[in-house]
Chains A and B, each alone.
Chain A
Amino acid sequence: MKVAYIFATSRHTVSYVLGKMILPQLEENRHGVDVAGMFFFEDNNYVLVKGNPIGARLHKVAKEKGILLMGCDQCCYEREIADILFEGVPIGCFPDLYKVLSGNMPDQVITL
């Protein structure tokens, strides 16, 4: 099975669910499913900023496994981080996300 994650809520979504569950499992090849992509809303986009330690690990594993990482464009512009994300990580909105995922279609979309 192939999934896509949408990180829509704040609180512990990135630091805990991504940083301590999903990411270590991906790094250890035991996540259980393939991940087509991850899309980030609101403050969750800070994980995509160059230098973020969780983001650096995520960026590395995403490159190795061909996982799309994309930040919400309005969220990134509002936070003035749109041009300082990890190399090759785009910003976009739903049309951009669907366009990219249409070439690597997930079976399930998980909103966290």
Chain B
Amino acid sequence: MTAACREACCSVTPHFTVAELFERGFRRNRMAPFAIEGEAVRDAEGNSARFSLELDGGKLGEVRFRVSACTTLIAYCEALTELLPGLDTGLAAHFTPSELVDALPGVPRLKQPRAILAVAAFRAALLAARAQSHDPRNLSWPGLSRPSTS
């Protein structure tokens, strides 16, 4: 069984396209952050991203973000918030920028590095969650680091 197509060619909504992720992300970008909030991460072009999240046991709960007003960056961040909640934190922690690029077709190559910033900021929030946890062993992801945004 394959997942339903969520691109603009099909009637399954909500669509998983850059334009529609941006629309939803634009609203999420204005929501108050959750208590677990990562460091803000910046790239060389002056864009910044900061994620906050809720945990549900060992699984990722709802995710929010505050990012620069860049269409591509907002769409990538919104894609993370729609793809990852409900996953085991270990799986979510190892979601890579290239997987994010592959998950969201239609972004020109010049703008794809925004995925690195989005994933770096998301991982920063997971690292904040681990730092705040009463039992960090439950949030252990060997080898996890933030991808370089420089």
Q: Is the CB of B106 within 8 A of A73?
A: no
Q: Is the CB of A82 within 8 A of B108?
A: yes
Checking B8, B71, B72 against A80 with a beta-carbon cut-off of 8 angstroms, the contacting residue is B8
Measuring CB to CB, which residues of chain B are less than 8 angstroms from any residue of chain A? 8, 17-19, 22, 46, 69-72, 75, 105-108, 110-111
How many inter-chain residue pairs (CB < 8 Å) link A and B?
38
A108 located at the interface, meaning its Cβ lies under 8 Å from any Cβ of chain B in the complex: no
Q: Is the CB of A73 within 8 A of B17?
A: no
Stretch at the interface among A16-24, A37-45, A53-61, A85-93: A85-93
For window 21-79 of chain A, which residues contact chain B by CB distance below 8 Å?
A: 73-74, 77-78
Q: Is the CB of B108 within 8 A of A85?
A: yes
The interface size bin for chain A is 10 to 19
Measuring CB to CB, which residues of chain A are less than 8 angstroms from any residue of chain B? 73-74, 77-78, 80, 82-83, 85, 90-91, 93, 95
Q: Which residues of B contact A80 (CB under 8 A)?
A: 8, 17, 19, 106
Most B CB contacts (10 A, CB to CB) among A82, A85, A90, A95 go to A82
Q: Which residues of B contact A77 (CB under 8 A)?
A: 17-19, 22, 71-72, 75, 106
